[in-house]
Structure 1
Amino acid sequence: MSELLSRHAEMRMRQRGVQNHLLTTLLTWGDVVVSVGGGDVSITVSRATVRELVASGLRSDWGEKLGRLAVVVTENGTVKTCAIMRQSGRGGRRYRRGV
């Protein structure tokens, strides 16, 4: 996994308490892909997918965190950074709507 992460992403994951299994789940099940400029895309998981994952056995607290997590991935597949979006307000809007 570390070969797919930039040093910046590793640092942000540690700071934000994002565990590797959540990142792997997000990259596997991420169904909302939004261009954020420069060839990079933001990947998130829709609410419907989170509900489906929780129903199939994912812990509900992990589901909540997964639903708020966004990762920015470069054209070559490297995870550039991760962010935990707030439920309301403007924070994280760029990762949901694009440039």
Structure 2
Amino acid sequence: MTYALTRHAAVRSQQRGVPHHLVDALMSYADFEAPVGGGCTVLRMTRDRLDDPDLADRLGAKRERLRGLSIVWSERTGEIVTVLRPRRGAAGRRYRRGGH
């Protein structure tokens, strides 16, 4: 899959300590997606997916760093808009469950 990071996503991934190999893994193995508005979709990996033994072997040490990580993706532009770890409570619900 080919994608680019927006300037905002590049800055946020650096600020949040998310290296490109984690973004690549999330783009490859995400099993949850939900619309978040503005033509964007949040992508993340569910607990079940992260606990899959076959995937755990492929991901190795990256697996725990992917837990709780989400990316906002624009299908229209083919860009990652931002990289985040959603907050708990109402503030992060939009990215955990999807919704507009």
Percent of matched pairs sharing the same residue: 37
Distance 1:79 1:21 in 2: 14
CA RMSD of aligned residues (A): 1.9
Match of 2:20 in 1: 20
SS of match in other structure, 2:72: strand
Runs of 5+ in structure 1 lacking a partner?
none
Match of 1:64 in 2: 64
Runs of 5+ in structure 2 lacking a partner?
none
How far 1:63 sits from its partner (Å)?
1.8
Distance 1:34 1:93 in 2: 11
How far 1:91 sits from its partner (Å)?
4.2
Aligned residues: 95
Distance 1:85 1:95 in 2: 6
Mapping of 1:1-99 within 5 angstroms?
A: 4-52=4-52, 53-54=55-56, 56-60=57-61, 62-74=62-74, 75-86=76-87, 88-97=88-97, 98-99=99-100
The code of the aligned residue for 1:78 comes to E
Runs of 4+ in 1 over 4 A off after TM superposition: none
